[in-house]
Amino acid sequence: MCELSNTTADDGQIIDILTRCRTIAIVGCSPDDTKDSHKVALYLQSKGYKIVPIYPKNDEILGEKVYRSLEDIPFKIDLVDIFRKPKVIADVVDECIKRGDIYAVWSQIGLVNNTAMAKARKYNIKTVQNLCTKLEHRRVL
């Protein structure tokens, strides 16, 4: 069940994630520069983060190689930033657990799946949901 709530991390946890995590997979990173996922990825890239677009089409977005899924990425990912519907969050969390190298999972504003995020925390993956990485970065850093 994907219940809507404001359940999220506190400022200390957000600062920890945004300072510790340098490589960010953007799940649902659109090549369309009018889409929020593209704008957020561009912002994070401009702040020195390595972004890794995950999208079903395109070979390159923002000068970075596009991957079809988390399991296709051959190097360590620190943070997974989700721009997909709440029902997909559970599948993304399962991929993160399977990889075993993800520090945190973040779902954007309006994207909440408390069950999936609780499961991520059981595997020691930090979680943030219903907040924007770009806006939070601006606010706390």
Domain residue extents for the chain: 11-140
pTM: predicted TM-score of the whole model, two decimal places: 0.94
**pLDDT of 39-82, one tens digit each?**
999 999 999 999 999 999 999 999 999 999 999 999 999 999 99
Q: What is the pLDDT, as a whole number, of residue 7?
A: 58
Q: Kindly give, in sequence order, each residue whose CB lies less than 8 Å from that of residue 31, ignoring residues fewer than 6 positions away.
A: 38, 55, 57, 58, 61
63/59 Cα distance (integer angstroms): 9
11-140 maps to which CATH number?
A: 3.40.50.720
The pLDDT of residue 9 is: 85
